[in-house]
Structure 1
Amino acid sequence: MPTAQRVRNLVTGATVVTSLAAAVGVGYALGNDPDGGRPPASPPIVLANADLTVAAGCDELLASYVDRALEAVGPYGWGGDVMYDVMTSEDAGAAAAPSSEAARSTVSTSRSTSNESGTNVQEAGVDEADVVKVAGSLLLRLRDGELLAYDVSGDEPRLLSSTRLEDARGSSGWVGDPGGEMVLVDGRAVVLGTSTDGMSTTITTVDLADPTSPAVVDTTEVRGRASAVRLHGDVVRVVLQNGLPELDFTAPDGTLGQLRARLSNRALVRDTTLADWLPTVDGAPVVDCEDVAIPDDDLALGTTTLLAFDPAEPTALTTTAVATDSAISYFSTDRFYLAASAPQWGWVDCMNCRPTGFPGTDGTTPLFAFGLDGTEATYVASGEVEGSIADRWSMDAVGGSLRVAVGPSSETGNFNSVLTLREEGSDLVEDGRVDQLGVGEEIKSVRWFDDLAIVVTFRQTDPLYAIDLSDPTAPRLVGELKIPGFSEYLHPLGEQRLIGMGQDATLDGVTRGAQAALFDVTDLADPRQLDVVRYDEGTQAGAATDPRQFTWLPEQRTVLTVVSQGWTGTTGWVSVLSLADGSMSNRMVEVEHGTDVADVRLVPLASGKVALVTGEDVTFFAL
């Protein structure tokens, strides 16, 4: 029987294991560079074949953008001959995972996701940006464009300093949020701000050697939207998206209006420069032409750039890019994976959805893998899976194996699958797979462990699937559990317990309110729900959309998680879930109201205390 999703190699040959960011001379800043786009003295890196290549010069790179763009422009602008509401990356950003004895003996759930910076992260060893960070007795938080530093070593948190950050301004000149999120490394905070129009990112580096008198050492504004920020050791990596340029398109009017508008709009596209397609600083691209890989497939038009730097030298930027616009990326400790998507034409029915991967026009999702070493990103392999990848939580890498959870597409059956892939030369090739997960249902959450995957799907009930990945060449479904409702975020509680935050639902699939479900995965052939806490009707679990609103305190066997209710007049609580003997007791503490509920954090400190960060205050939370 043919497989539902097979892997089709994109790139072959061994010559591609070379950094796109290798030193091949200074790149050409604009499409009309004075040298006419001639290649540098040393030829640019050529990837294995036309499926993923590097242009011979800036003129050729610009021509690749323009040629693709001309196919997508019509009398109404982007979208061809029909007027569409186009969702660009900026819109998405502004709009805002057998026998029981065999299972016991081979499967481990020991992977940890705790992080000493105070942020609940996807991957151990890879810190993520947040509105709060902690290092020893120093706590930093962002509020209304200010970086606030607190001493949390005493009986109460004490404010040490407040540093005003420079406003982020987009192409329209609108002022945005200068302090959206940050990472903290070696006494320096790197703060990412976003302009109101979502098209520019401000990267501010603040020296906190003296936290009572912080010093802003660099502020760089990049045209491009930051869709992910990660910290590997002392290297900060920012994924920047540049979607379709905003051009002054003409609309049809009068006799022969469509023809004239089409010709006028195509002329605008032909007049674009590389500054319209690539991330720029002060109008000049920050990525060299020879460091942009061009995919041959019909993918979302734009550019995704991986920008890296050491905060000790914030102006020394290293960049690598792929000429497609994608919001779905995953970082392991030594790899960066980008899942590409098809052009996103059409109406958007959700203004605050998490980024979703639309498969290519042939029902497949291309994957590009880069090795990480210092600030360098080296292209290592590509592959393609049939099916759709919902978000970063659907990917994971361990022990040289990439694991991917995929949903259905035009090239698959009406079910979900888990695939394992390995790097074979420069190819990502399928190693093993499990199909027929949640027939006719949607993946709601995925959690990966060293040799285990837990996948939750939903239509009317919540099937929870346990998949043994101890042998990547032969993954197998070892157990499933069907219960009402579904989990949107899963978190390990040691080696035998798992908690899911999501929604309670009736037997016919109507959601009622938030719920927390405790699972026993000791016997993977027979996973069990031990207990469930159901919150009031109409409530939402904060961790369902932002896992940073979830905190696990293993020594106290306590979960702290945010629950909210109401779209207008919102109220936020901290749900204190105490675990004992396979059951949960719940205590609700009202802590915040309004839009500030989204920024509530509960941060474990080295002293054993927990800092509660709300819209206006930093206090210690009484356990």
Structure 2
Amino acid sequence: MSSALKITVILSLLLSAGCHAAGTAPRKTLAPFASEQALSSYLQQVQARQEALLLKQQKLQRATAQYMAAPPPAPPAAPMVAKAAPAASAEAAESVTNVQTAGVDEGGIVKLHGKHLVMLRRGKLFTVQVGGNALQPVASLDAFAPGSDPSGNWYDEMLIDGDTVVVIGYSYSRGGTEIGLFDIAADGKLAYRSTYHLRSNDYYSSRNYASRLIGSKLVFYSPLSLNLRRGDPFGGFPALRRWRPDAVPSDFKRIAPATRIYRTDDEPEPGTSLALHTVTVCDLAQRDMRCEATAVMGPQGRVFYVSGESVYVWTTRRGSDSGLFRIPLDGSAPSALKVAGAPVDQFSFLESADGHLNVLLRSEGQGDAMWDGTRGRGDMALLRVPLASFSDGRDSAPAGSYQPLPGGGGYGLQNRYVGAYLLYGNPGNPGRRKADQAWPRQPLYAVRWADGGSVQALSLPHGVERIEALGDDAVVIGAQGKDLYFSSIRLGAQAAVATRYIRADAVQGESRSHGFFYKPQAANEGVIGLPILGADERPGLNKSSASVLYLRNSGLQLMELGALAARPGQPPDDGCRASCVDWYGNARPLFLQGRVFALLGYELVEGALKEGQVREVRRISYAPVAR
């Protein structure tokens, strides 16, 4: 842990109540490389230093081996970077995605287009008509280019801009992020348009999403590890190509020239890989997609967060020294700060309207790639800095910008900003629950992020597995023994537990943020939806949740409305050819124009509120037939 997080601090005047930044523009920005030659020379210097260090290490190993009369150690195994593979109307404006930031849509598995729901599942797109009180499958189409080989590809996320459906996936066979564009008509019919490949490493995170949509701007974050020992280091730099059946590597065209690549004064850590943390912005307003990229150099560990105007990338190296980059979406130069510690995930960030960035930190962490977001640890702090304090990367966030917080950042930590509060807590024992198992009480910590006041520890009889907003208040969901608890939290001048609902013999069926949805209906009124399983069942990547549970929130009183359940039995044989594991889940609660749905694998179940209960009205299967 760094001294910046260990030290006991008194909040600086920057943190006092009523302090507002005069502006959010950084004092200085990072300087790009002046030319391709300047960039090449720098990479050669870095490579020379790394090779000198490697040679020194090899000599030391040989000397040690001779002294010990033992054979030299075997070379380290190559790091695993892939996912573990298995053997314009009011209707159109309605969102079905539980997003972190209003106006910033996130790639998901279900979206709404006019009178149709669009689903992405197991390598295919599907549309179902729901407008006009209908519930009818309409069309399906492969989520990959006709004639292409989809093996080794994962199609994970979907976004819709106007009449364009965007499918985002990762291709191990073609080496990068795959972007498929499809046309969708008013009648729900789908047509393939084009496919693009964006050079990148695997973007997968068990918590974050790779893509965002802001207006017609398609935004990607993608990491790129630099192999400086290859003949052409620029062969791994950000590039884009349009796919064609006879596509070759030379079709890739650089989209981040040297003059859009930046670094701070920090030198790469000896013996570790250097990464290009790349933000790509693509214009969907034109049928032929155009993209530009901005990249910053840093260590491999990363967490990124997208606000309405910028992408923030927090990079971590061994130990706790870190770098924080602010990359504007308008293509202007990034800025940076030297910082300490590591965020948990994207929910650790809040760019607040008072011109500050707020970040919950643990003293140790390696970012949120793959499952790393669950594994950080150590003491905790809240970093709060004015946006105007970002500069050319030479400055450090002052010690007074860190507020020490209680609670260890253990396995599976959950955190969320709701209104004026930052809430965080641990899930408790992550292992298999037992009927007679009593877990230690898990406090929910609540801190008003803007004023640096005291931290409240609210006693809960259950773990903290999910934190979600209920308007200006919150709900905390977690397990105790074999039961699933929902605790409503009132967030006024003080935070307080309001009421509690207990669903016996149940667990969450989805851990991703998109698995939950809250539909406000009036002030302090609304409906909660969450996929659940029986307590003896285990959530699985290819397993449909048994049901979606619905609760009514009335002034923070939580009352069960019932559940819409999946049909028992074996799922249909869909002849899956690609993306045959549900990495992003397959169950969602959906609320559309006063109607209630549950997406459960290949089933779409509609319910209706009758006599204070959700009761099934009808269901359809949109599953394809294996050929």
**Alignment correspondent of 1:241:** 223
Residue 368 of structure 1 deviates from its aligned partner by 0.5
Matched, 1:477 2:454: yes
Name the SS for the 1:527 alignment partner. strand
Deviates more, 1:224-233 or 1:562-571: 562-571
Decide which of 551, 560, 567 is 2:517's aligned counterpart: 551
Decide which of 450, 475, 479 is 1:503's aligned counterpart: 479
Q: Separation in 1 of the partners of 2:153 and 2:230?
A: 34
1:393 counterpart letter in structure 2: F
For residues 567 and 14 of structure 1, do their structure 2 counterparts lie closer, same or farther at Cα, with a shift above 3 Å needed?
closer
**Alignment correspondent of 1:488:** 465
**Alignment correspondent of 1:367:** 324
Alignment of 1:79-478 (within 5 A): 83-85=75-77, 87=79, 90-91=81-82, 116-166=94-144, 175-177=151-153, 179-196=155-172, 199-224=175-200, 225-227=202-204, 228-243=210-225, 269-276=229-236, 278-279=238-239, 281=241, 282-283=249-250, 284=252, 285-295=254-264, 296-297=266-267, 298=269, 300-313=273-286, 314-324=288-298, 325-342=300-317, 361-373=318-330, 376=331, 378-399=332-353, 400-409=355-364, 414-422=378-386, 423-424=388-389, 426=391, 429-430=397-398, 432-439=401-408, 441=410, 444-457=413-426, 460-471=440-451, 475-478=452-455
For residues 86 and 396 of structure 1, do their structure 2 counterparts lie closer, same or farther at Cα, with a shift above 3 Å needed?
farther
1:340 counterpart letter in structure 2: T
Decide which of 9, 16, 19 is 2:29's aligned counterpart: 16
Q: Separation in 2 of the partners of 1:74 and 1:240?
A: 31
User: Deviations 1:321-362 (Å, cap 9, x if unpaired)?
Assistant: 1234444100111121001122xxxxxxxxxxxxxxxxxx34
Q: Separation in 2 of the partners of 1:533 and 1:446?
A: 22
User: Deviations 1:425-463 (Å, cap 9, x if unpaired)?
Assistant: 615734644214115756711111353211224664322
User: Deviations 1:236-256 (Å, cap 9, x if unpaired)?
Assistant: 1011222365xxxxxxxxxxx
1:416 counterpart letter in structure 2: M
2:152 counterpart letter in structure 1: G
Residue 576 of structure 1 deviates from its aligned partner by 1.8
User: Deviations 1:170-212 (Å, cap 9, x if unpaired)?
Assistant: 9xx8723464211111221111122256942210122224544
CA contact (8 A) 1:390 1:406 kept: yes
For residues 5 and 236 of structure 1, do their structure 2 counterparts lie closer, same or farther at Cα, with a shift above 3 Å needed?
farther
TM-score under structure 1 normalisation? 0.71
Deviates more, 1:412-421 or 1:554-563: 412-421
Name the SS for the 2:44 alignment partner. helix
**Alignment correspondent of 1:264:** none
Deviates more, 1:454-463 or 1:394-403: 454-463
Name the SS for the 2:458 alignment partner. strand
Gaps of 5+ in 1: 21-38, 45-54, 96-114, 246-267, 343-360, 505-511
2:307 counterpart letter in structure 1: S
**Alignment correspondent of 2:552:** 578
CA contact (8 A) 1:498 1:521 kept: yes
Name the SS for the 2:324 alignment partner. strand
Name the SS for the 1:317 alignment partner. strand
Name the SS for the 2:179 alignment partner. strand
Residue 56 of structure 1 deviates from its aligned partner by 4.8
Q: Separation in 1 of the partners of 2:125 and 2:528?
A: 28
User: Deviations 1:49-93 (Å, cap 9, x if unpaired)?
Assistant: xxxxxx75452254266347647868999xx976445545x3368
Name the SS for the 2:40 alignment partner. helix
1:208 counterpart letter in structure 2: I
1:488 counterpart letter in structure 2: E
**Alignment correspondent of 1:345:** none
For residues 83 and 174 of structure 1, do their structure 2 counterparts lie closer, same or farther at Cα, with a shift above 3 Å needed?
farther
Name the SS for the 1:491 alignment partner. strand
1:176 counterpart letter in structure 2: G
Residue 232 of structure 1 deviates from its aligned partner by 1.1
For residues 70 and 562 of structure 1, do their structure 2 counterparts lie closer, same or farther at Cα, with a shift above 3 Å needed?
farther
Residue 419 of structure 1 deviates from its aligned partner by 1.6
**Alignment correspondent of 1:63:** 44
TM-score under structure 2 normalisation? 0.70
Residue 269 of structure 1 deviates from its aligned partner by 2.0
1:566 counterpart letter in structure 2: R
**Alignment correspondent of 2:625:** none
**Alignment correspondent of 1:603:** 590
Residue 118 of structure 1 deviates from its aligned partner by 1.0
Residue 94 of structure 1 deviates from its aligned partner by 6.7
Residue 119 of structure 1 deviates from its aligned partner by 0.6
Q: Separation in 1 of the partners of 2:276 and 2:493?
A: 42
Residue 418 of structure 1 deviates from its aligned partner by 1.1
For residues 117 and 135 of structure 1, do their structure 2 counterparts lie closer, same or farther at Cα, with a shift above 3 Å needed?
farther
Q: Separation in 2 of the partners of 1:516 and 1:131?
A: 27
Q: Separation in 1 of the partners of 2:337 and 2:604?
A: 47
Residue 144 of structure 1 deviates from its aligned partner by 3.2
1:201 counterpart letter in structure 2: T
2:274 counterpart letter in structure 1: L
Name the SS for the 1:420 alignment partner. strand
CA RMSD in angstroms, aligned pairs only: 3.8
Q: Separation in 2 of the partners of 1:220 and 1:490?
A: 36
User: Deviations 1:365-387 (Å, cap 9, x if unpaired)?
Assistant: 211112223xx3x3342113222
Q: Separation in 2 of the partners of 1:409 and 1:87?
A: 21
Residue 578 of structure 1 deviates from its aligned partner by 2.8
1:577 counterpart letter in structure 2: L
Residue 161 of structure 1 deviates from its aligned partner by 2.6
User: Deviations 1:555-605 (Å, cap 9, x if unpaired)?
Assistant: 263211012322679562212223346243363443277866921122222
Name the SS for the 1:222 alignment partner. strand
CA contact (8 A) 1:168 1:221 kept: no
For residues 562 and 82 of structure 1, do their structure 2 counterparts lie closer, same or farther at Cα, with a shift above 3 Å needed?
farther
1:591 counterpart letter in structure 2: A
Name the SS for the 2:464 alignment partner. strand
Residue 286 of structure 1 deviates from its aligned partner by 3.4
1:200 counterpart letter in structure 2: G
Q: Separation in 2 of the partners of 1:164 and 1:417?
A: 46
1:407 counterpart letter in structure 2: R
Q: Separation in 1 of the partners of 2:338 and 2:586?
A: 37
For residues 536 and 86 of structure 1, do their structure 2 counterparts lie closer, same or farther at Cα, with a shift above 3 Å needed?
farther
Q: % of aligned pairs identical? A: 20
For residues 527 and 198 of structure 1, do their structure 2 counterparts lie closer, same or farther at Cα, with a shift above 3 Å needed?
farther
Q: How many residues align?
A: 503
